[in-house]
């Protein structure tokens, strides 16, 4: 039974019917369920914030209080599992104490459950968790993908590295909760996810370079720079691959674009390491 919806999809049965099977039989997602499982709830936080319930984007009224959605965002930012109530109340209602803080939390949780489904949030032993059996988040899926990259052996084939890179890049559509800077925990989660993503992509690129697959590494680095134009480490790797491939003009263009982005967005110049690399390029 747990595979019923997955089998339906595999045999060409449409997604709405598969979702119907999941809901009718209360099927939990299997441990290896991916994005294509008919999740009753999907929450996308990497790039635009989008909630999909039963396959449909959730309409959000401007008249509604932000607190229920802030509760959801912070729960995800703090890991999505076992987030202590006192931590959430301190962040969302810093001026409230004791019963007042608890009442505010209870009210926000009640309204959030009405919005996304009564069973999507589990409250147990004073901690809040997303229901992993029925709720998918791109942040959680990215974290799982990055763990797979960590576990990838150095002897892995190029195809395996590229599959993981494709999955991570498909999930990482932008900064975590881009434009939402109301809470420091969101900023911390954003920086943590960005750094983890870039670090794992560099590891995959290094694996490809070690196999002299410089063309594949160059394509990977270029895609990462499209997501993170300020990642100088990645730009330097890209430049080096382009030099190995004999594409000097493209190497200099990659540097020029990085320099422009750093100047416009941060008001700084490239690092000394980047400039030293480009100096070798200028000297031929």
Count Cβ atoms below 10 Å from residue 121 Cβ, excluding itself. Answer: 19
**What CA–CA distances, in Å, run from 132 to 89, 129, 137, 262?**
23, 8, 9, 39
The two beta strands, 135-137 and 41-44, are parallel
Q: Is the pLDDT of residue 21 over 80?
A: no
Q: Whole-model pTM? A: 0.86
Mean pLDDT over 41-58 rounds to 92
Instruction: Give the model confidence (pLDDT) of 112-150 as tens digits.
Output: 999 999 999 999 999 999 999 999 999 999 999 999 999
Q: Where are the domains of the chain?
A: 1-30, 31-136, 139-283
**CATH (residue range 139-283):** 1.25.40.10
What 3-state DSSP class applies to 8?
helix
Which architecture does CATH list for 31-136? Answer: Orthogonal Bundle (1.10)
- Fold agreement between 31-136 and 139-283: no
In a 10 Å sphere around its CB, with 0-12 CB exposed, 13-18 middle and 19+ buried, how is residue 173 labelled?
middle
Please give the Cα distance from 223 to 227 (Å, whole number).
Answer: 7
Instruction: Give the model confidence (pLDDT) of 211-241 as tens digits.
Output: 999 999 999 999 999 999 999 999 999 999 9
């Amino acid at each position: 039974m747990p595979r019923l919806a997955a089998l339906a999809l595999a045999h060409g049965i449409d997604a709405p019917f598969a979702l119907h099977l999941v809901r009718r039989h209360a099927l939990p997602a299997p441990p290896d369920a991916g994005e294509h499982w008919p999740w009753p709830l999907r929450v996308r936080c990497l790039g635009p914030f989008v909630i999909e319930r039963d396959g449909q984007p959730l309409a959000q009224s401007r008249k509604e209080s932000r607190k229920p959605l802030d509760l959801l965002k912070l729960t995800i930012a703090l890991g999505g599992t076992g987030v202590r109530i006192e931590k959430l109340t301190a962040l969302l209602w810093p001026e409230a104490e004791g019963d007042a803080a608890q009442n505010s939390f209870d009210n926000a949780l009640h309204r959030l459950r009405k919005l996304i489904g009564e069973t999507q949030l589990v409250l147990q032993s004073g901690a809040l968790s997303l229901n992993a059996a029925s709720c998918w988040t791109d942040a959680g899926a990215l974290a799982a993908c990055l763990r797979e990259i960590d576990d990838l052996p150095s002897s892995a084939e190029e195809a395996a590295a590229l599959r993981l890179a494709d999955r991570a890049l498909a999930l990482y559509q932008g900064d975590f909760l881009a434009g939402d800077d109301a809470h420091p925990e969101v900023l911390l989660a954003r920086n943590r996810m960005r750094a983890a993503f870039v670090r794992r992509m560099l590891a995959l690129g290094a694996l490809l370079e070690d196999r002299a697959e410089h063309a594949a590494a160059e394509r990977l680095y270029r895609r990462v720079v499209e997501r993170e134009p300020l990642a100088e480490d990645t730009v330097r790797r890209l430049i080096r691959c382009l030099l190995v491939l004999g594409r000097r003009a493209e190497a200099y263009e990659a540097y020029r674009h990085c320099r422009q982005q750093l100047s416009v967005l941060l008001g700084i110049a490239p690092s000394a390491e980047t400039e030293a690399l480009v100096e070798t390029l200028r000297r031929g």
